[in-house]
Amino acid sequence: MISGSKTKSPLMWVVHLSVLMLVLLWTMPTIGLFVSSIRDKDQLAVSGWWTALFSSEQNIIGRSVGPDAQIEENGLFVLKGNILEAEGKKGTVVSFGWKSQEPTLYKAGETAEMSSDQTMTIDADGNYVITQPKEWSGSRGRRIFFTINTPPIFTLDNYREVLTAEGIGRSFINSLTVTIPSTIIPILIAAFAAYALAWMHFPGRAVLIAVVVGLLVVPLQMSLIPLLRLYNSVGDFFGVPAKTYLGIWLAHTGFGLPLAIYLLRNYIAELPREIIESARVDGASHFDIFVKIILPLSFPALASFAIFQFLWVWNDLLVAMVFLGNTEDQLVLTGRLREMLGSRGGNWEILTASAFVTIVVPLTVFFALQRYLVRGLLAGSVKGG
Amino acid sequence: MEQLASAFGTVIIGVLACVAYFYGSNWLLDRIFPANAATAEKGIVNLRTAHAIRPWLFLGPALLALGLYLVYPAVESIRLSFFNNDGSKFIGVDNYVWLWFNKGFRQSMFNNMLWLVFVPAMSTFFGLVIAALTDRIWWGNIAKSLIFMPMAISFIGASIIWKFVYEYRGEGSAQIGIVNAVVEFFGGDPQAWITIPFWNNFFLMIILVWIQTGFAMVILSAALRGIPEETIEAATIDGANGLQIFFYIMVPQIWKTIAVVWTTITITVLKVFDIVFAMTNGQWDTQVLANLMYDWMFRGGGDFGRGATIAVIIMLLVVPIMVWNIRSVNSESKGH
């Protein structure tokens, strides 16, 4: 950009540092999501994802075995067992206590002297011994307050759960079902129209181009209500459901066409005139020219649009909510995510893993085909006049 | 799986149908108006007729789809905005009057204006700064790629990502949201950020800025590279420093691109729905037009008249940009 700017300048480290900060700022939220999705769900709930690599401490309230399991040793009545196993926790006990006011008063291995000659000892491995001179009565064991230290646990359990039990797997297939036809069908239709607008002469061509440019920015919201009414009445008339995959494929086709035509026309119009004219002189028809010359040459533009449309349809929530139902066989990933936000709002292990499953496909497409995406963006934004 | 098979089946049928249509209609056209007719005159006439009809064969399916899915609904929405909830009774401008005095609508308009100022401004600003900075370092492309990445993430996915960033835990338990953890680290009080009226709008806007900055950066970066080096060299020789070159030489030259980026983001902002829908659904004074419209479209069985009225308002806000776009494309094609 600036000539000679790549040479060493005293301020270069400021540039490096600022860019690094910006990159961190921009990637941090996504990294947080990913790290959280592979953490143990108990750890995720009590510590920040940035502590994922360190062991975490957790305060737990447990209960010893009940009086029916007591044994008599040396004149003392003893309750013993393993508190970690009883509570289903992994890790080591750091400290414990017997009063809720002082839950961490004693270190693991120490013996706590409680009221009325009772004692309590908990080892780091969770084995506990509670004694008292007289027999234990009542039906429940003693409460034990303890703090455990757990090493970092990384797991794919969250993914296993969301893909099966939470229905993300099913929605993944639904999303693919919506996306594939919605991406491919508009391309052909748009390519023919773009060729006509670029290379054929007919009255009204300029007006049509202006119309396409105008339609580029028409908000989707303008289409929703009339189309919903139309779909409902078509459904009633033929006695078929109004919310079908065919309906949403066509809707996405319609909504994607202005950009498709605009992108492709710009590209096709820039192709060298000589190629097309020499083909005309050789007696090729418009149809032949289109199929044999234009289509193969416009591959980059076709790819750009396909990526755009794929990302847009895959990520769309609004159109899916209006034109598809929320039954198991029609709920797409975005719709499922939004349902989970309502029903599983606090279960971050579910939300993060689900969200990551939904963004992994677009991210893959993005990183693999970024070149075409950038090219499309550059061609697609209406140039300043 | 069966469903995917049907999707692939549709792709194949759809593509075949398209090919059959384009090929068949062309073939038919050449049969009906053969160029090698009985007389040369007839042949020329036929050729002309076929020539006049062919563009419309190429355009046919596209025009049909555009008409059915965009033009007709736009006209119909305007019509419905003058009708009652199920479109059965003409009620004049009642919906507009209702809208004008509606608290939710005023709230949405106010918030939308905030969005319209903040999001394009911040996205363009960050995009420009990042584009200028990354062009000067060897790992600039990697940095750009990473900042561009949120473009590929759905608004709802981004909402979950950011809900986790803003996550609030009551006092006493460790904060798992990074914003609150940082606030706590510096001795502040953790907050449930998205429930604080007025300021929560900005916390939602940040999500869209996060997504759109990559777009602004890509376009502006290309524009910056298009600046002729001589102008910058001349400024350097005249003793201008980096900042001066940036503001007085580079920015004025890419002014038009900045305007394009700004308007494109403006359009996105006007249509913003998913983020508000997922984060707050308009609670805590965060309502925006698109979410309000969705709300009325389905609330209590759906009030299509009022929903359409809100859609028309969104459309009206877009019209100036639409006109500007059409004019710039027209003047461009005249230049060719």
Calculate ∠ Cα B268-B269-B275, nearest 5°: 100
Q: Which residues of B touch A358 (CB under 8 A)?
A: 154, 156-157
Q: Which residues of B touch A373 (CB under 8 A)?
A: 151
Mean pLDDT of chain B: 86
Per residue in B122-140, pLDDT (tens digit) is 999 999 999 988 888 888 8
As a whole number of angstroms, the distance between CA B72 and CA A227 comes to 9
- Least reliable range by pLDDT among A55-69, A230-244, B186-200: A55-69
Per residue in A107-130, pLDDT (tens digit) is 888 888 887 788 888 888 888 888
- The sign of the torsion formed by the CA atoms of B138, B139, B144, B145 equals positive
Q: What's the whole-number mean pLDDT along residues B252-273?
A: 87
Which residue from A minimizes the CA distance to B85? A225
Judge: B304–A225 Cβ closer than 8 Å, yes or no: yes
Per residue in A162-215, pLDDT (tens digit) is 888 778 888 888 888 888 888 988 988 999 899 889 888 888 888 898 899 889
Nearest to A189 among B18, B273, B307 (CB): B18
Query: What tokens were used for B148?
Result: 């561009």
Per residue in B35-75, pLDDT (tens digit) is 777 777 888 888 888 888 888 888 888 999 999 999 999 99
Q: Contact A109/A168 with Cβ under 8 angstroms?
A: no
Q: Contact A184/A370 with Cβ under 8 angstroms?
A: no
Compute the nearest-CA separation of A70 from chain B (Å): 36
Among all chains, which residue has been given the structure tokens 């590279």? B225
Q: Contact B180/B190 with Cβ under 8 angstroms?
A: yes
Q: What is the pLDDT of residue B1?
A: 67
Q: Which residues of A touch B80 (CB under 8 A)?
A: 225-226
Q: Contact B151/B213 with Cβ under 8 angstroms?
A: no
Which residue from A minimizes the CA distance to B293? A221
Compute the nearest-CA separation of B165 from chain A (Å): 6
Q: Contact A130/A113 with Cβ under 8 angstroms?
A: no
As a whole number of angstroms, the distance between CA A32 and CA A27 comes to 9
Q: What is the pLDDT of residue A8?
A: 55
- Chain A interface test: which of B1, B6, B10 (most A C-beta within 10 Å): B10
126-145 in chain B: CB under 8 A from chain A: 126, 129-130, 132-138, 140, 143, 145
Which residues are within 8 A (CB) of A296 and not within 5 positions of it... i.e. 6 or more apart? none
- Chain B interface test: which of A51, A209, A225 (most B C-beta within 10 Å): A225
Q: What is the pLDDT of residue A255?
A: 92
As a whole number of angstroms, the distance between CA A109 and CA B18 comes to 78
Q: What's the whole-number mean pLDDT along residues B94-113?
A: 89
- For residue A5, name the pLDDT band (cuts at 50, 70, 90): very low
Q: Is the pLDDT of residue B333 over 70?
A: no
User: What's this model's pTM, rounded to 2 decimal places?
Assistant: 0.84
Write the DSSP string, A211-251: HHHHHHT--THHHHHHHHHHHHHHHHHHTS-SS-HHHHHHH
In terms of C-beta distances under 8 Å and separation of at least 24 residues, what long-range contacts does B166-169 make, across chains too? B166/B193, B166/B194, B166/B203, B167/A348, B168/B192, B168/B193
Nearest to B14 among A185, A190, A193 (CB): A185
Q: Is the pLDDT of residue A90 over 90?
A: no
Q: Which residues of B touch A227 (CB under 8 A)?
A: 69, 73
- The sign of the torsion formed by the CA atoms of A303, A308, A311, A316 equals negative
Q: What's the whole-number mean pLDDT along residues B184-209?
A: 88
Q: Contact A49/A90 with Cβ under 8 angstroms?
A: no
Percent of chain A with pLDDT over 70: 96
Mean pLDDT of chain A: 84
Q: What is the pLDDT of residue A4?
A: 44
ipTM above 0.90, yes or no: no
Between the alpha carbon of residue A379 and those of residues A199, A253, A315, the distances in Å are 19, 20, 22
- Chain B interface test: which of A1, A40, A331 (most B C-beta within 10 Å): A1
As a whole number of angstroms, the distance between CA A114 and CA A120 comes to 7
Compute the nearest-CA separation of A63 from chain B (Å): 22
As a whole number of angstroms, the distance between CA A297 and CA A106 comes to 77
Write the DSSP string, B33-74: S-SS-SSHHHHHHHHHHHHHHHHHHHHHHHHHHHIIIIIHHH
